[in-house]
Amino acid sequence: MFSNENGLFGEAKKAKVLPNIITSLLWVLLFLIAGQGMGAILAFYIKKIIGNDPAVLLLNELICGFIFITLFVFARVKFREKRSISSIGLKREGFIKKYLIGFGIGILMFSIVGLLLSISGHTVVNSNPGGLSGIAALSGVLIVIPGWIIQSGTEEVLSRGWLMNVLGARYNVAVGLIISSSFFGLIHFANLNVNILAIINIVLVGLFFGLYVIRTNDLWGACGLHAAWNWTQGNVFGFEVSGQKVAGSLLNLRLTGSEWFTGGSFGPEAGIAATIVLCIGIVVLYFIPSHKKLDTVNSLYNE
């Protein structure tokens, strides 16, 4: 259904070298270990300066923990593969609009998850919040957005912009999509309170984001979608984000009832409610007729 002769796969084919599956995964691990190691050192020293505000601390953690990974991927693309950074899907033309469209879709998708949880009676207002909530939390909720932008953008650059496209270019689209999505799920195994359904759902997230990149021939929208999904989940609804509790949210809801449906202490990404929304999204993206190529979204990009 999808060809690796054009789009971002075609761009990746222009690389001076295209690593095989094993080598690609080793490079990804190197990017992660080196990038997070350097980020942890920087975050430690910055923390001594910025004080104890939870939102600022989270911002520091997200930016320092991920920015170096992106820089390492960029260096690999530019100096080893001898191609432009834009070739991984980060073209300048209309990037703000593309990002905002993705951000809006991300808010909508996770809001549907939250709606499913609420109408089924699986949420209650948290009577003992760990941080500020409601209007009092608004400044912190907004302050942390750049952190989610960096964190989510890094994961998209690494998983979809680089890994999916180089493997798709060397082998075929299915290999690139499946390997990158599976790896994306597996790197969350170290998260707190993780379980098998959480990993399955995160693999589904990877498939959805990967299909979105393929359909739009662009990475900006997926970066926005990913950032909005995390931000809405943690800072709007107040749920855990992949096992991490985020201090400060607008709604400050708490999950209750059956953990197989809600995701329990890992957050909704480990629950059936998220599985339903993700599967519907994947089916919609996959079965859109190929000639349309998300015409609705692309027409918005080009207006």
In a domain, residue 2? The reply is no
Into how many domains does the chain fold?
1
Tell me what pLDDT residue 299 has: 55
Question: What tokens does 173 get?
Answer: 């689209």
pLDDT value at position 51?
86
Element (H, E) at 124: strand 123-125
Q: CA nearest 276: which of 160, 197, 215, 183? A: 197
Does residue 1 form part of some domain?
no
**pLDDT attached to residue 298:** 55
Q: Which amino acid is at 278?
A: L
* DSSP per-residue letters across 35-90: HHHHHHHHHHHHHHHH-S-HHHHHHHHHHHHHHHHHHHHHHIIIIIS---GGGGT-
Residue 100 lies in a domain: yes
Q: What is the rounded distance in angstroms from the CA atom of residue 296 to the CA atom of residue 14?
A: 29
- Is 226 part of a structural domain of the chain? yes
**Furthest-apart CA pair in the chain: how many Å?**
57
pLDDT score, position 91: 95
Q: Is the pTM of this model over 0.85?
A: yes
Residue 59 domain boundaries = 7-302
In this prediction, residue 90 carries a pLDDT of 97
Q: Which residues of the chain have pLDDT under 50?
A: none
Q: What is the DSSP track for 230-256?
A: HHIIIIIS---BTTBPPS-BSS-EEE-
